[in-house]
Amino acid sequence: MKIKKSKSVPNGDGAASRSWSFSDPESRRKRRVAGYKVYSVKQKMKGSIRKCFKWFKDIIGAS
């Protein structure tokens, strides 16, 4: 992931402050895609847990 730095600008106390730019389109796209992947993993886990409970319920009900 490429992060662009702006030029360092001295602030009031003489120290240089750097601001990082996350507004370029590529980094925004990467963050958006990462969010989609997280959502997908959550949904797969929920489905897996539901199947597990259904299986367990069927096993208990059959006894």
Residue 56 inside a domain? The answer is yes
Domains held by the chain: number: 1
Residue 42 inside a domain? The answer is yes
> d(Cα 20, Cα 18) in Å, to the nearest integer?
6
Length of the chain as a residue count? 63
Predicted TM-score (pTM) of this structure: 0.48
pLDDT at 18 over 50: no
pLDDT tens string 32-63: 999 999 999 999 999 999 999 999 888 888 76
Residue 36 inside a domain? The answer is yes
Helix (H, G, I), strand (E, B) or coil at 20: strand
Residue 15 inside a domain? The answer is no
**H/E segment holding residue 5:** strand 4-5
Range of the domain at 37: 24-63
Residue 61 inside a domain? The answer is yes
> d(Cα 11, Cα 50) in Å, to the nearest integer?
56
- The DSSP code sequence of 11-41 is -TTS-EE--EE--SHHHHHHHHHHHHHHHHH
